[in-house]
Structures are given as C-alpha cells and as structure tokens.
Chains A and B, each alone.
Chain A
Amino acid sequence: MTTRLIAMVIASLALAACSGRTPLDAHAADAPHTAKASAPAFEPPAESTIPAGPYGDMVRLGREIFLHTRKAAPAYVGNGLNCVNCHLDAGRLADSAPLWGAYGMYPQYRKKNHHVNSYGERLQGCFMYSMNGKAPPLDDKVMVALETYSYWMAQGAPLGVKLAGAGYPRVAEPAKAPDYARGQAVFGRDCALCHGADGQGQKVAGEYVFPPLWGPDSFNWGAGMHELDKAAAFIKANMPLSRGGMLSDQDAWDVAMFMDAHERPQDPRYHGDLAATRKAYHDTPMSLYGTRVNGRLLGAQPAR
C-alpha cells in the first residue's frame, strides 16, 4: 500500500508540473503560473483605522468571529477550531491565506462544486468543512460580519488580481515521496510541543489554546487542509508559530502526510459509499481519503 501511495504522489507531482492544475482559490496552494514575482504587493489597513459607527462595529464583529469562532458563532461550528488557526493574525498575514488576498478573487468558478461561487458561498464552505459545522445562511449576521471584515481589510486592493502573499505559497516538490514514518519523526520533534503527542491540541479551561490536528474536534475530510499540498504549504510557511520557514520542504511534506493520514470527521458529502465519495470529491493524489495507509482505510472509521 505504501508503494501505491508513493506511485500516487509521484503521479501528482508530474501533474502539478503541468499547467492545468487547481483553479485559483484562496485555500489552494499557488499554482505555478501565478507564483510570479510580478504579483502586486498589498498591505491591509491598520486595525486602528477601523472607523467608529455601525460599519466599524460590523467590521469588529467580523474580526471577533474570526478570532473566536466557536464562541461567537457557536451555531455553525462543529469542532474545536477557530478561523484564525489557519489564517494567522486574524486573517491578515501574508502567506497564511489572508482575507485580503481572497476577497477580490470572488465570484469564482470552483471545481470543488462545479459552479460559480460568491465570496459568501466560499465562506460557507469553510464552516461546512474546516469548521465541521453548518453553513450560515448568506444573509445571517455571521456572514455579513465576516464579509464586512474581509471587505474592510481588502480596501484598496485590485479586483480579480492575484496578490503576492495570497493563499499559501506552494512548496517545491519533495525529493522523496511524503512518508508517514518520517513525518511522525518531524511531528514529535517540532509539533508535539504544542499540538500534543497525540495531535489533539491542548486546552485551558475547556477551550483549545492549541488546535487538534485530527480526531473529532478537527477539520473534516472535506476541508482543503486534508490535501497534502495545501497542508504542506501552510505548515512550511507558518509552523511552528513564530518560526515559519524553519522546516525543510521535505519535512513539511512528510509531516503534512503524517497529519493527513489520521482519521477525522466524515466528509459531509458522504452518503454511504467511501469509494464513490473519493471518486466524486477526492480524486486527487493529494487526498488520502479512501486510501489505505499503514493498513487503515482512511475515511472508513471517521472520528466523531
């Protein structure tokens, strides 16, 4: 089975070298043809400039929801995560899929659901998959607040232009196919300090300080972070906190593979047939869903 995985990863790397890769997506790693030095830079406005009054109040509410999603939008969150776990600095940090890099790229056609998505629908996807929860209605105050916060942060940015620092920067293809055992060693060395030896994060007074990386309180099998290239890209640029860029490319791929080879909540689009769900939504070597790793069929016994 390891052989099969290696074959898959090699195949995927070959694919990645071609131009027809994933569509432009705030959560996708940069496609090679967009990762150009010519991408314009952008600096989001200082938080001190959020105005007083009802508009500013909505911006601040959006920021609050972004930082403390579980507390501020409990009806729509089904796990232990907050938006800021994967979008550092309240969604402001370059190379951490900042909101200012995503806002101006919508509406956008997405392969994930085969239609043109508004920014609101893209946010709904975060709630369904990354937050393992429910999509807030588009006119819900939670959505209005998050869109207002994004809009405020993106003011002055060009529309429909891929900005430098948007998304997560793609990590170069690894010399060796991502490997569970090597990833486990990286995890123990550089990740377990915060995320725990069991990857389940650490809590204070019942709330997560360090987020769980798999298991019932983590993102589900439909989230972008379960794909190896996206996880490697996020990890390489941002982990460990304050030491982004510390890991080698190989370490980032290996530890991404280790993280994403663990069970997590089921993909909400699953309707009883793992292979069919894989074929419909995860037909990429970057997803381990529905494949066997170390003898375990991933997605067959989802965490709950």
Chain B
Amino acid sequence: MRSRRWEGVVAGVWLALAWASPTNTTTAQTLVGQGNGRGAPPCQSCHGADGGGQAAAGFPRLAGLDAAYLHRQLDDYARGTRSNAVMQPIAQALSADERGMVATYYARLPVPAKAPATKPVDGPADDAGPTLATRGRWSAQVPACEQCHGPGGVGVGASFPPLAGQPAAYIEAQLKAWQQGTRRNDPLGLMQHLSRALSAQDIAAVAQWFAAQPAGSDRQ
C-alpha cells in the first residue's frame, strides 16, 4: 500500500515538472520526428525513420552507434571541433540535454537490416581498399583500419565508431575532413595524423570497401 502511494506521489511530481517546463516534455521521439521547434529540424528527415541514414546523400547511419560517441559528436559540432555546414547549426539549436537524449535514442535503435549501402564499384583490380582496411600501410605508419574499428569495421567502444555499411560518401568526407583539419575531435590526433598519409584514391577505395561491409549484425 505504502509503495503504491509513493508511486502516485512520484508520478504526480513528474507530471507537474513536465507541465511546468516545456523542454522536459520534449521526448527524444519528438526531437527525432518533429524537431525541437527552435531551429533543429527532425533528425529523421536526413538520417531516416529507422536511423539507417541515406547512402545516396552520404548521410550516415546513427542507429546502434555508441551513445557516448554520438553525444560527443553533437557536442563537438556545437563547439566547432567538428565542422559541418548542416550539422553545426542543428547541434547548436539543440540544448545540451537534447543532444544527450537524441544520442541515447539512436544508440538504442537496432541496426537496420538491409543490404550493404553500396557495392564496391567494378573497376581496376586495385586492392588498396581491402589492404588498407585489413592490413594497413605500415611503411607510412598507417595501421589497418580494423585494428581500431574492429573486424569488418563494426566499431569498438565509445571512441572507434562503426564504418561497416556507412555510406562511402560519408566515410570519404570524414577522411578528407581529418586531412584538412575541419574535423579535429579525434582522440590523440590519431585520425588527423594518419589521414595525411592517404591519397585521394586510397580514401575512395577504403571508403567503398567499408560501405560494402555488413553493418554489425553480430555486434555486441
């Protein structure tokens, strides 16, 4: 009896709080589906209703990514250590709480089951993509991408996001952003440093290879 009364009190307080402060009533679902009404458009208009992204446009998958990673990216867009004309104003329009809510929401979504975003293009027998991905180019101090991003690029922990199944255009844009310093939120400067050893052809090849990998169905 006693515990049920407590439940009532807690629920009442919760409702009152929610009523009193509009930002607290904003659910992650509202943000994702409708935006926050203060300049942040609905996330799903670009990242898809299932969080799977849009390969053709180069919008990345967010579903199933690590919550801390996603949260940090939004914070870094907001503070400018990750530059992007589209995402920076959006991240700035979200409150700190909202950035956290959105990150948690997407982290909990299942990885959409679908065919790999793009197939490797039929082209010259250039194996730079798979070689860089699985073995690296140690003569230039470039480790295999898999050594940090996990087998097939499924992603590892909060600092090494999945590459598997991400749009090739997205991966390519990130590697170029690291190279040019428009993205500089990497721990220990790892990506800014090693991306400088890659040519445009290397970047295109490795991006295509990861885009064609299955997106972590057996991911932990």
Contacts and interface: CB of A to CB of B under 8 A. Distances in A.
A88 B136 CA distance: 10
Given A88-B138, A202-B156, A194 B148 contact: yes
B87 interface: no
B136 A204 contact: no
Interface centre among A88, A194, A210 (most CB of B within 10 A): A194
Contact of A93 (B138, B146, B147, B155): B138
A193 B147 contact: no
Contacts of A90: 135
Interface centre among B147, B154, B194 (most CB of A within 10 A): B147
Contacts of B218: 205
Interface string B126-163: 00000000011010011100111011001111010000
Given A240-B188, A242-B142, A204 B156 contact: yes
Contact of A209 (B138, B147, B187, B189): B147
Nearest to A207: B151
A244 to B, nearest CB: 6
A242 B141 contact: yes
A52 interface: no
A210 B151 contact: no
A203 interface: yes
A241 B151 contact: no
A236 interface: no
B164 to A, nearest CB: 11
Contacts of A190: 188
B219 A205 contact: yes
A92 interface: yes
Interface residues of A, number: 21
B190 interface: yes
Interface string A263-275: 0000000000000
Interface in B171-220: 187-190, 193-194, 218-220
Contacts of B135: 89-90
Given A92-B138, A194-B148, A204-B154, A241 B143 contact: yes
Contacts of B138: 88-89, 92-93
B148 A203 contact: no
B150 A193 contact: no
Contacts, number: 56
A88 B220 CA distance: 26
Contacts of A206: 220
A115 interface: no
A100 to B, nearest CB: 13
Contacts of A89: 135-136, 138
B26 to A, nearest CB: 33
A243 interface: yes
A243 B190 contact: yes
Interface in A145-170: none
Interface string A239-281: 0111110000000000000000000000000000000000000
A205 B187 contact: no
Interface string A192-224: 011000000011111101100000000000000
A302 B142 CA distance: 36
A240 B151 contact: no
Contacts of A93: 138
Contacts of B141: 242-244
A96 to B, nearest CB: 8
A193 B187 contact: yes
A241 B150 CA distance: 14
A209 B194 contact: no
Given A242-B142, A243-B193, A193 B159 contact: yes
Contacts of B157: 202
B159 A242 contact: no
A263 to B, nearest CB: 24
A243 B188 CA distance: 9
B30 to A, nearest CB: 33
30 contacts: A88-B138, A89-B135, A89-B136, A89-B138, A90-B135, A92-B138, A190-B188, A193-B159, A193-B187, A193-B188, A202-B156, A202-B157, A204-B151, A204-B154, A204-B155, A204-B220, A205-B218, A205-B219, A205-B220, A207-B151, A209-B156, A210-B148, A240-B190, A241-B147, A241-B148, A241-B190, A242-B142, A242-B143, A242-B193, A242-B194
Interface of B: 135-136, 138, 141-143, 146-148, 150-151, 154-157, 159, 187-190, 193-194, 218-220
